[in-house]
Every structure is written in structure tokens, then in C-alpha cells.
Amino acid sequence: MFGVDPRQHIEALVLARECAQLDACGRLIGMRLTVLAGGIGGATFLRGLVQARPDAEITVIGNTADDITLFGLRVCPDLDTVMYTLGGGISAERGWGRDDEGWLVKEELAAYGVQPTWFGLGDRDVATHLVRTQMLDAGYPLSAVTEALCDRWKLPVRLIPMSDDRVETHVVISDDEGARKAVHFQEYWVRLHAEVPAHEIVVVGQDKAQPAPGVLDAIAECDVLLLPPSNPVVSVGTILGVPGILDAVRKTAAPVVGVSPIIGEGTTDSEQVPQVEAAGIAARAVPLWMTDVDTTAAIASEALDLAAAVRR
């Protein structure tokens, strides 16, 4: 149990499930960690995890259901947020996209009257999408493209997309006349600011998608499987929804530790821990606000400690 700072209005919840297997040394050094990651939340957590366990062998399974084709470019927001964040190229100010970014391409596209105007690609970022699109068009699978892009950034983790197949989250909303229509998640999130009631989330292509090479092995063979604080529906949920992945998560011998993405206001979840534990799930309440890298590294360490505890 850890102290919670009420001034930060932090509601903390860390979940884990029992796991009988111990690693060879019984220690958490040099361990294999697999992380299912969305965008900003996942990337921020990963930066803390890398600082907390610099010697760990970390595999990140990235959400690709946010992916979208814009201006003929294949854009993978979550993969890129992880890549830029861990590669040192992220805009600290925005949390997404590149630092020291320019916006001339966007300005010109608008001058040509090209739609959509609600999604801005920075000039540096465009280069990433050009490389990706060119490689995809040449027939490389997204996993190979991602590996090639990450090679430049010398990532401290291995980043694999959840699937090489195209999966895109759509949100069913009502249009001005009241008829239902589906919009791409990016349009719902960026243009509509998620302010329009969502009737349904439809993850197009998910039922036919296969896990990318390495995904199932990374889940089966890790020492700890981590679910950082990402959106449970459109980030973690879409990864788990790829046929075969949830099953692999259920079957892995590794402890599975989830860090809640939900931070409440004015109360803490401490009093809920006994209820969760009564359901057979080990839980701890810890501060979860990832305010800086040190704080985030502490959260990651707590998650790994819980994993170690449930193993014993």
C-alpha cells in the first residue's frame, strides 16, 4: 500500500492476477517485459518503465486501430507516439508529433483546399508517413515498416504493431438529421473532440485481423505482461480484440499487471482494494498521475513489484 496525495486528487488502482511461475533467478533484473500500449498514456508509461528497468528486454505491442490514411499517407498515431517518445523526438508540449516541428505542408494543403483540415500533420512527421507509405506500397508489412522506422530512433524497446492487417476504429454517431453514421475514430476524437454521443464503437477489420509476427510469442514468453494506463476501449481494447491476443493473455504464465487509466477527483480507490482482492485479483492503490519521468518510473516499479508479489 502506498500513500496517496489527496491534493492531486489521485485515484489509484493497480490490478494483477496470480501467477505460479517464478523466473529463473527470482529477481526482476534482465527480465522480459511485454507491454500493450496505446498512444500518449502508453508512451508516457513506457518512458518511466525504461528508466525504472533499463536492463529489461521490453517488447511493446502497439495499438494500430487509430491508424488513418490522410492525404494518401498512412498515419499510425499510436505507434508514432511511442516511437517519438522513446526515441527522443516527441513534442513535449503537445505529447504527440515531433519537436521543433514546421507546418508548411499543412498550410499548403489548406491553400489547395484539401480535406480534411482538422488533422494537422507536421512537416517532420510527414517524412515518417512518407517512408511508411512508400514501404507499405512496396509490399512490406507494417511490422517490417515499423522496425525500419524505429531503427533510426534507436529505441530502447522493440515495437510491434498489434497486427499487419488494417484495423480501424469507427464511432457511430447521429448526424444533423438524426440518422446514424460512422466516423473514423480520429474524426470523432480530433474534429468532434469526443463531445458527440457515441452509439457504438465498430472496429472495422478486427474480426479478420491476425496478430503481427512476434505478438503472441511476446505475450507467451514474457516474465511480466503490463497494461499501461491507456484507453480501455479504443487502445487496450482494440489490441485485445485482435483474434488470438486475449486468449494468449489468458494463457500466459506471466503475471499480468494493469495500471488503471482512470484517475478520480477528490477520493481514492484505497477502500475498493479489498473488494477487488475478494474477487481473486491482487490490487494496490498507488499514485497514478504520470506528472514526470521519475514519478512514472515509480508507478512502473510498483507494477513490477506487484507482479513479483503475486508470483511468490
Q: Does 85 bind its own copies (CB under 8 A)?
A: no
Q: Does 149 bind its own copies (CB under 8 A)?
A: yes
Q: Does 213 bind its own copies (CB under 8 A)?
A: no
Question: Grid coordinates standing for 203?
Answer: 472496429
Stretch binding its own copies (CB under 8 A), from 42-50, 112-120, 224-232, 273-281: 112-120
Q: Does 73 bind its own copies (CB under 8 A)?
A: yes
Q: Cα–chain-centroid distance for residue 266? A: 27
Q: Does 282 bind its own copies (CB under 8 A)?
A: no
Q: Does 289 bind its own copies (CB under 8 A)?
A: no
Task: Decide: helix, strand or coil at residue 203.
Answer: strand
Residues 308 and 124: their CA atoms lie apart, in Å, by: 41
Binder of its own copies out of 134, 174, 267, 275 (CB under 8 A): 134
What type of residue is 51? Q
Q: Does 111 bind its own copies (CB under 8 A)?
A: yes
Angle at 275 between CA 296 and CA 268, to 5 degrees: 40
Residue found under cell 474477487: 279
For residue 235, count other CB atoms closer than 10 A to its CB: 27
What type of residue is 247? D
Stretch binding its own copies (CB under 8 A), from 42-50, 105-113, 214-222, 278-286: 105-113
Q: Does 123 bind its own copies (CB under 8 A)?
A: yes
Could you give the dihedral angle defined by the CA atoms of residues 133, 138, 141 and 144, in that order, rounded to the nearest 10 degrees? -80
CB of 88 to its own copies, least distance (A): 12
Enumerate binding residues for its own copies (CB under 8 A): 71-73, 101-102, 104-109, 111-114, 122-124, 126-128, 130-131, 133-134, 137, 149, 152
